[in-house]
């Protein structure tokens, strides 16, 4: 039987996304398009070329070059500000001829200079400075600065605000639940009780530490020619202080100047940043798996969404899909970030092109992380706490009081109280491998011969009341 020919989905217009970030999850990650897309890269290239031209003329670096008026400088900067669909298409058309993306940007901007008299009048000097576009630059001078600006914008304007909001929400939830006692599990076994808020505070504290590192990361840039020697610069204009020209230009863009490079900026700053973001991802992954486990235990109850389906066959289910989605996307993000960090720090001799295609995946690396952040936020908003279950768990695990009882016995022994020998071993014999009732524990305490005040304190202790300073520790989030 011959199957009928299928519609070619590759030919459908508008184009169908190959990956989920530009398809199913587009709405969540769309803010990154302004910073990390191919179009954003080209816009930043135009931006760098414009600012370099303005820098050369305003600083009178090249003898004989006319100074640009405020209106002429504004005209150039408007080329960047108005860069949109028509300009994207025009640039793509030029690149089909040049087969070189940065050269296409140079020709694109030179055309704008040629068109300036129609906008500014015949006296404009912009056509006269046309050959200062891309002056003494190698493509990587433009690219490294463009990527630094793109990544800085993506982190500071999109990713960091989203990550900070999430972390603040985790911290707020920790404060709200600071006093809710919970049986702790170490190695999956009942352990010293804590509070649910304190455990969330640990995660919020860890996330905040990574955010501080990310907020303090540097974004480096260079402009020094084909092999980092200022060779063309010095031959063309020997009288200029080119390292100073380069430094002031890079710093004018808001970046940190790198004085020693090959043809490429070494990308070490990118590796450092991506390692920090990946570490944030991994802490967030820990939060997602812990919350998933709390849901599995029944500690957290998921609030059903009207009309939503948890299972196609089991109508009772409300699946923790937000946290599972976050886990997967954090793993994808980390895989990409780890690859970026490992690949970008190596370039054969003075230049190879492995970084070119690698850097085009910065967007997906941040996109998967941003998607995970959104899922965790949405998941946390749909949770409530089953305090009755927590109380019941604690009431069925009186053996956890073996720790404070044997510790009190040790202290009493040091104070000279007799009969306090082998406290750990005696509590081990009492508690290990069995469940104790409240009466079992209180009878044991009463028979120890402890000082009256100590016996009273231990006799009044319950698993739910044995949380130490857990509630107070949450306040360290505000330090």
Positions annotated as catalytic residues are: 187, 311
Cis before 280 (ω within 30): no
Do 223 and 250 meet the contact criterion of CB atoms below 8 Å apart?
yes
How many angstroms separate the CA atoms of 160 and 152, rounded? 10
Contacts of 374 (CB under 8 A, 6+ apart): 28, 162
Q: What is the chain's length?
A: 479
The residue assigned the tokens 């002031």 is: 248
Indicate the pairing of strand 220-221 with strand 189-195.
unpaired
Nearest CA to 38 out of 363, 343, 340, 265 is that of 363
First-to-final CA distance of the chain: 73
**Cα atoms found within 13 Å of the Cα of residue 384, Cβ hemisphere only:** 6
Do 29 and 379 meet the contact criterion of CB atoms below 8 Å apart?
no
Phi and psi, residue 240, nearest 5°: -85, 150
CB-CB neighbours of 114 under 10 Å: 12
For residue 283, give both structure tokens. 């802490």
Distance from chain centroid for Cα 5: 45
How many angstroms separate the CA atoms of 54 and 74, rounded? 10
Distance from chain centroid for Cα 177: 26
How many angstroms separate the CA atoms of 58 and 61, rounded? 8
CA angle at 175 for the pair 384 and 319, rounded to the nearest 5°: 25
């Amino acid at each position: 039987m011959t199957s009928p020919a299928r519609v070619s989905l590759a030919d459908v217009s508008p184009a169908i996304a190959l990956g989920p970030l530009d398809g199913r999850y587009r709405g969540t990650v769309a803010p990154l398009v302004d910073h990390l897309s191919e179009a954003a890269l080209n816009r930043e290239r135009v931006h760098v070329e414009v600012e370099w031209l303005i820098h050369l003329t305003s600083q009178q670096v090249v003898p004989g070059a006319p100074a640009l008026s405020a209106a002429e400088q504004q005209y150039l900067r408007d080329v960047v500000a108005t860069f949109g669909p028509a300009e994207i298409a025009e640039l793509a058309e030029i690149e089909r001829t040049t087969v070189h993306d940065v050269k296409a940007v140079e020709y694109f901007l030179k055309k704008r200079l040629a068109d300036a008299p129609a906008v500014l009048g015949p006296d404009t000097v912009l056509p006269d400075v046309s050959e200062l576009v891309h002056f003494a630059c190698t493509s990587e001078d433009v690219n490294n600065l463009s990527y630094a600006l793109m990544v800085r914008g993506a982190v500071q304007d999109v990713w960091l605000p989203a990550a900070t909001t999430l972390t603040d929400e985790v911290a707020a939830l920790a404060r709200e639940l600071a006093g809710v006692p919970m049986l702790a599990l170490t190695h999956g076994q009942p352990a010293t009780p804590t509070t649910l808020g304190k455990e969330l505070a640990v995660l919020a504290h860890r996330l905040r530490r990574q955010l501080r590192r990310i907020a303090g990361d540097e974004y480096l840039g260079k402009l020094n020619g084909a092999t980092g020697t200022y060779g063309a610069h010095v031959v063309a204009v020997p009288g200029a202080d080119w390292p100073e020209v380069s430094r002031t230009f890079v710093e004018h863009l808001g970046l940190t100047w790198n004085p020693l490079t090959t043809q490429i900026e070494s990308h070490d700053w990118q590796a450092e940043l991506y390692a920090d973001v990946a570490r944030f991802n991994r802490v967030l992954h820990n939060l997602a798996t812990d919350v998933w486990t709390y849901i599995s235990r029944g500690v957290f109850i998921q609030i059903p969404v009207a009309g939503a389906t948890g299972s196609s066959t089991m109508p009772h289910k409300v699946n923790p899909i937000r946290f599972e989605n976050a886990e997967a996307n954090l793993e994808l993000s980390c895989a990409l970030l780890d690859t970026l960090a490992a690949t970008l720090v190596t370039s054969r001799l003075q230049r190879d092109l492995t970084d070119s295609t690698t850097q085009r995946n910065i967007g997906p690396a941040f996109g998967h992380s941003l998607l995970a952040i959104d899922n965790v936020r949405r998941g946390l908003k749909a949770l409530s706490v089953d305090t009755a279950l927590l109380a019941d768990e604690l009431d069925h695990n009186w053996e956890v009081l073996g720790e404070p009882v044997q510790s009190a016995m040790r202290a009493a022994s040091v104070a000279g109280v007799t009969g306090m020998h082998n406290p750990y071993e005696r509590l081990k014999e009492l508690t290990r491998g069995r469940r104790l009732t409240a009466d079992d524990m209180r009878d044991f305490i009463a028979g120890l011969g402890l000082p009256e005040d100590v016996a009273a304190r231990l006799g009044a202790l319950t698993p739910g009341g044995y949380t130490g300073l857990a509630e107070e520790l949450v306040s360290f989030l505000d330090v």
